[in-house]
Chains A and B, each alone.
Chain A
Amino acid sequence: MPSWVISARAETLEDVAFLSGAALAVLHLVVSRGEVPQPLLRDRLSLRAAEACVVLAGRPERAADLRDEVYLMRPGDLPGPAGAICQRWRHAAARPMTPEGLHRALPDLTRAQIAVWLGPGQGGPVDRMAQVLEAVLAEDPRAEATALILADATLARVMGWNRLLPLFAAHLTARDLRKSGDDLRRACHRAVLASCREAVPLAHDLARRAAKLQSVAPKLRAKGAGKAVEIFLSRDAVAPSEFTAFMSDRAARRLCDRLVTLGAVRELTGRDTFRLYGV
């Protein structure tokens, strides 16, 4: 990202808008590059956005707790309140942006309402994002997750992306969300700028890590290693037990250990048991 976008300070709405536009253009180029593992980027940003929403809801859980909740759930278990928010974000980022695809992530809206917001509307991407936030929160001030998911969806739609990229949630404060009109629009532009400043290096970093993982993949002799690598490239975190569909429990754990030794993945929890690995 050019340094004038990174370091520039802007106060007026016009200046912030100018910078956020420039930042979005850079982000657009970066995320559409082939070497960026898109599903992984979306999943990691989902976790970040979910954490922000959990904070907005006044709950104590943080990213590590959310990972535990989501990845240690078994079929039939209900998520906790924070895990449910996390599931909504991951769902929103993984599904096509249609009313049908987003409905599960936005249970408090009807499909018709989602369709209206995803349809052609007035104004540029950030204006529309501000409109979405204002309208949804006016209806229910506690529907932050709904408002923010829909705002990201609107942006993705205007940018012509085929999936939602969770960007703004982590960069809008509870105070920002209570603003309206020009104040809200300024806050949205700032959030766009801040989220691009974060997402662009993250995309580069993940591209580098993905390349590293792919480069060591041929060295892996375990049966099903290729499949495991694919899963790593599409998910924020993986529990070795998820590989047991195509390899033994022991082989799965050894594969993860080997990938850590090779520097291709990291162990994310710092625990000795119930470990989670990610690129």
Chain B
Amino acid sequence: MARDRTEPDLDRELADLPPELRWHEWMRRIEAVLFASASPVPREDLARVVGQGASVDLLVADLAEDLGGRSFEVTRVAGGWMLRTRPAYAPAIRAAADVGGQDLDLNEFDIAVLAAIAYHQPVTRDGLKEIFGKEISRDLIGRLNAQGLIATGPRSPRRGAPYTFVTTERFLVVFGLESLRDLPDREQMEDAGLTSPVKNRNREAGRIAGHTPDEVCN
């Protein structure tokens, strides 16, 4: 994210427009910025295209309402906003286009490990081994890393200073989470009788990411 992009031609204040049109134009600008961006756009960036002192939150709220009848919506993820198609249209999109390339190539166990990292981060491979009762392969960690879902965190203060793993912003985006605090509460899941949280997370992940686990290992 560039710090100080200045765009001399952009009239932020739109002083010559009547208030209502001005507001509408600001909304449209936010819509355009979100439409053009593949990643969540933080408030600070949106504030740069509207008037000084205009509330980005109110503009986004109005935009969300404006998009009420459309097939896409404004969602708040990873500390910013994104435009994304409504989940109801996922089958239509899959039927029309080959979205295989965008699919996360993760099997059930990959997702279980990813969930464990999300809940226990920062966690080392040894820590994961304790959770699953078996060695987690470097291969699997590498796969999650290559997808940009996890990254290396601070070293663990143990022999050999092993890396810990933490989830990334992309993890939040893929799973539609605003922050890590949106992860389902572990105790609540157990209370609800979902004693196998691994399966539950998988189902949810599949729904949000439009991913169907095709290959089940373990």
Interface readout for A136-166 with B: 1 if CB under 8 Å, 0 if not? 0001001000000000000000000000000
> A1 at interface (Cβ–Cβ under 8 A)?
no
Contact B56 A81 (CB under 8 A): no
Kindly state the separation between the CA atoms of A109 and B55 in the bound complex, as whole angstroms: 11
Scan A156-198; emit 1 where CB is below 8 A from any B CB, else 0. Answer: 0000000000000000000000000000000000000000000
Contacts of B79 in A (CB 8 A): 107-108
Bound complex: CA of A111 vs CA of B45, how far in Å?
Answer: 10
**A269 to chain B: closest residue by CB:** B157
Which of B42, B47, B155, B180 is packed against the most chain A CB atoms within 10 Å? B155
Contacts of A83 in B (CB 8 A): 122, 153-154
Q: Within 8 Å of chain A (Cβ to Cβ): is B121?
A: yes
Chain B residues whose C-beta falls within 8 Å of the C-beta of A8 in the assembled complex: none
Given A80-B121, A80-B166, A112-B52, A142 contacting B181 (CB threshold 8 A): yes
Interface positions, chain B 32-76, Cβ under 8 Å from A, are 42-44, 47, 52-53, 56-57
Whether, in the assembled complex, B151 has its beta carbon less than 8 Å from a beta carbon of chain A, the answer is yes
* Complex CA–CA separation, A54 to B27 (angstroms): 36
Q: Are A77 and B157 in contact (CB under 8 A)?
A: no
Cβ of A139 and Cβ of B57 under 8 Å apart? Answer: yes
Mask of B163-198 contacts with A, CB within 8 angstroms, 1/0: 110101000000000011100000000000000000
Give the shortest distance, in Å, between B117 (CB) and chain A (any CB). Answer: 10
Give min CB distance, A105 to chain B, whole Å.
13
Q: Tell me whether A70 and B154 are in contact (CB under 8 A).
A: yes
Which residues of B sit under 8 angstroms from A78, Cβ to Cβ? 151-153, 166, 168
Q: Does A246 contact B (CB under 8 A)?
A: no
Determine which of B43, B47, B152 lies in contact with A77 in the assembled complex, contact meaning CB atoms within 8 Å.
B152
Which residue of the partner chain, among B47, B122, B158, B161, contacts A110 with CB atoms under 8 Å?
A: B47
Chain B residue numbers with a CB within 8 Å of A274 are 155, 157-158, 161
Type the 1/0 row for A8-39, where 1 means its CB is closer than 8 Å to any CB of B: 00000000000000000000000000000000
A271 an interface residue at 8 Å Cβ cutoff? yes
Contact for B153 among A57, A58, A77, A108, CB less than 8 A: A77
Any B CB within 8 A of the CB of A74: yes
Nearest-neighbor residue (CB-CB) of B47 within chain A: A110
